[in-house]
């Protein structure tokens, strides 16, 4: 298998199953953004979560024939 084919397979495996909580915790940029944005309250956490979830329309389409509105 070529290196390019291997990279494509790894990419598909990574995003086909979704992002794990562990990969989120290891994403320094994301954690830092939350640290400077979140005020520490449950109410604000819920509001930030809603904003982040609203951005799923920006996520690339993963599977052949799937449209953006099908991605959850």
Q: What is the pLDDT of residues 9-20, one digit of tens each?
A: 666 666 666 677
The residue ranges of every structural domain in the chain are 1-37, 40-72
What is the model's pTM?
Answer: 0.57
Query: What separation in angstroms does the CA of 50 have from each of 6, 25, 47?
Result: 35, 19, 5
Radius of gyration of the chain (CA): 16
Q: Label residue 44 by pLDDT band (50, 70, 90).
A: very high
Q: What is the pLDDT of residues 15-43, one digit of tens each?
A: 666 677 888 888 899 899 999 999 999 99
Cα 47 to the center of its chain, rounded Å: 17
């Amino acid at each position: 298998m070529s290196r390019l084919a291997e990279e494509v397979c790894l990419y598909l495996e990574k995003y086909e199953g979704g992002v794990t909580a562990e990969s989120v915790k290891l994403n320094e940029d994301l954690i830092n953004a939350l640290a400077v944005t979140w005020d520490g309250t449950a109410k604000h956490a819920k509001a930030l979560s809603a904003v982040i979830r609203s951005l799923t329309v920006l996520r690339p389409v993963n599977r052949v024939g799937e449209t953006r509105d099908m991605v959850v």
